[in-house]
Structure 1
């Protein structure tokens, strides 16, 4: 392992991605962690309010960032630390979205960056019930004790990629991405593209079926996927969610089968469970299919909406 790269994680003050309030960076070289950087951030003025929900998650409030670097100052620290190296983030669409939106909020150009997504790498490497950061970290036996502390989350993303490199016997990040058919994401002053899988299996877009929008972005997270929802979504009715899935090129279905690619597990209704069961019938079926070797993914509501909106 001879390459060097940097894992990154942002925390935000509120629901707007342009409100970074903390960033953690973990540098990797020669197959091990070599350096770290962490700083609180004073979010851009337009999005400086702290939502109590976000503060409950990461423990950062307005008073904590009064003397913190501004976004412009923090960005310079980030760019100096990364020094042109490839970035890695778990669900990179979010973290790089934070960076872009914060720049836009302050009227500054996006920097030129190259990045990869450890969430995409994990999906192409292991067969798991969930690919959320704590679950993948637990799988590779690097427990995440301080989830939503930016430095700890950056460390976890770095460990996930290092574990995937060992799993695939890849000597560098570039070799790992090539073997998994994962392309880099890129940010430039006037454009960006996501880090995604282009190979066979989960990452390969399927041909749309009649109920899916044939003009949807073929690189979208749900394009060509058959998706089932179980439980009650908090933000929209199931019919609305199914319509939204069809718009982005997915095929919503009512039951889980061997053809289902993704099961979305929302708030469960125990009244609908079979006697003695702790999960819905759909959830149980999906887990049995997964254990039997079927290529099916089970995700939570937060992951569902993040992918739907990315």
Structure 2
């Protein structure tokens, strides 16, 4: 059993992490996948299923009717794990969900140690984004099912870790983490505390770069003060701050009256919901907003789009001329239509991982909307 481990994935019914509605597990013995366990879960809490979450994983309230409750499922999870280390992709989410579900149902947290395939992937492959499908592609690992199917994701996370071991010349999880200077995450039931899986060695924090005054003043972020809170999945904070500086924006360490935009490290803006735990920067932004200061909170998805647009060509003079020639009512109708089209392509790209147009074609749609907004500023609302 020494060197064996189990990958795990949870799916949730709504925006609260503890609303676990599905679990998938994959056992790895002597470097090979040997066994699996999966079940639907009657989710803890009374939040029910949101349309957004169901659109991601396809699970509905009717499907979990009669499914076991969390305490019974936790016992099954622990029996299958049998004391072996656990692995998850973005383990901070999965084990946060486990803690929340236990707290809600008055069940003691289990003692556990776990590794994160996302943390390992960051030290193994150079990627623009580290969501599981992108990491699997870089590792040469085929997805065994739809992304956000708990069993398929557990299988894929296991194969990603095995691929990382091959890259680093080891066949044991302990040796891989030791080589990459990554520590296990831990759950401590006696004290009710935990520590996340992370690198032991923290790079020296670099000073925040200064905005480039020679950048394109037409860029959507030029001259703006931007603060980032949380962890970005697509790039490091230092890289994000440098890209902001390159396009003429000033990154800031904290939220102040100078702050124009707060970027929250999540791909789903609908997670900014009442009752969610907010960071100190997010709370400060809300206080400034309540006091009349204009500040915008955006998701990582919107931030990446703005970075892409800032690096792209500005709105052409011809596109702007055509937009200005339109009556406001016609411009408003075009703006509404292209906004729906942009949202649809965002959903296909970021949620279902099934884009139907190229990045260049998407940028042209966004630039077209931007031309309408420049010609008719009232459309920005």
TM value normalised by structure 2: 0.58
Counting only pairs closer than 5 Å after superposition, residues 228-307 of structure 1 correspond to structure 2 as: 228=241, 239-241=261-263, 265-268=303-306, 273-274=312-313
Q: From the CA coordinates, give the structure whose radius of gyration is larger.
A: 2
CA RMSD of aligned residues (A): 3.5
Q: Out of 234, 237, 240, which is 1:227 matched to? A: 240
- Normalized per residue, the structure richer in helix is 2
1:267 to 1:301, Cα distance in 2 relative to 1, 3 A: farther
Deviation at 1:188?
Answer: 1.6
Which runs of no fewer than 5 residues in structure 2 stay unpaired?
A: 210-229, 248-258, 265-277, 283-299, 316-348, 352-381
Deviation at 1:3?
Answer: 1.4
Q: How many angstroms apart in 1 are the aligned matches of 2:50 and 2:279?
A: 29
Deviation at 1:301?
Answer: 9.0
Counting only pairs closer than 5 Å after superposition, residues 53-72 of structure 1 correspond to structure 2 as: 53-72=52-71
The residue matched to 2:36 in structure 1 has which SS? strand
Match of 2:204 in 1: 206
Match of 1:290 in 2: none
Deviation at 1:225?
Answer: 3.7
Deviation at 1:129?
Answer: 1.9
Match of 2:179 in 1: 179
Q: Is the 8 A contact 1:26 1:33 kept in 2?
A: yes
CA displacement, residues 221-242 of structure 1 (integer Å, 9 cap, x when unaligned)? 58984533779xxxxx962238
Q: Larger relative contact order (C-alpha < 8 A, sep ≥ 6)? A: 1
What is the count of residue pairs matched by the alignment?
249
CA displacement, residues 243-292 of structure 1 (integer Å, 9 cap, x when unaligned)? x99959xxxxxxxxxxxxx998533488752179xxxxxxxxxxxxxxxx
Deviation at 1:140?
Answer: 1.7
Match of 2:141 in 1: 142
TM value normalised by structure 1: 0.71
1:205 to 1:78, Cα distance in 2 relative to 1, 3 A: same
Which runs of no fewer than 5 residues in structure 1 stay unpaired?
A: 212-219, 232-236, 249-261, 277-299, 303-310
Q: How many angstroms apart in 1 are the aligned matches of 2:147 and 2:350?
A: 18
Q: Is the 8 A contact 1:206 1:224 kept in 2?
A: no
CA displacement, residues 106-161 of structure 1 (integer Å, 9 cap, x when unaligned)? 12211101000000000011112221100011112222241000000000100011
CA displacement, residues 59-100 of structure 1 (integer Å, 9 cap, x when unaligned)? 000000011110011100000000111000000000001100
Q: How many angstroms apart in 2 are the aligned matches of 1:178 and 1:140?
A: 20
1:138 to 1:174, Cα distance in 2 relative to 1, 3 A: same
- Normalized per residue, the structure richer in strand is 1
Q: How many angstroms apart in 1 are the aligned matches of 2:309 and 2:281?
A: 31
Q: Is the 8 A contact 1:89 1:95 kept in 2?
A: yes
Q: How many angstroms apart in 2 are the aligned matches of 1:247 and 1:225?
A: 18
